[in-house]
Amino acid sequence: MLFDNKRNEFEIIYEILFLANKEIKKTRLMYQTNMCYNHFSKYLKFLINNGLLEERFNNLEGRVYITTEKGKRILEKITMVIEQF
């Protein structure tokens, strides 16, 4: 975590994009980010609508989410900022 115990929006977006670098199911992503469904859904919708996260259908797993190329570029930039601290 960058800051105290409470995460800011920047940290939550980073965490979702980082975890979705490999295909991940919605429930696992929600649990790993330790968020309630309503709060998580708002972030998920925001990231998908802005082209940072993509929803796919995997024959074995069903519906999964993965970070897009645009999301990976954002993730790299966020990582660079984090490394400065």
pLDDT of residue 2: 46
- What pLDDT band is residue 5 in, cutting at 50, 70 and 90? low
Task: Output the CATH code of domain 9-83.
Answer: 1.10.10.10
13, 70, 59, 15: CA torsion to nearest 10? -20
pTM for this entry: 0.86
Digit-coded pLDDT (tens) for 22-41 = 999 999 999 999 999 999 99
Model confidence over 48-81: pLDDT tens digits?
999 999 999 988 878 999 999 999 999 999 889 8
Decide if 52 contacts 67 (C-beta within 8 A).
yes
| Half-sphere exposure of residue 32: CA atoms within 13 angstroms, side-chain side | 14
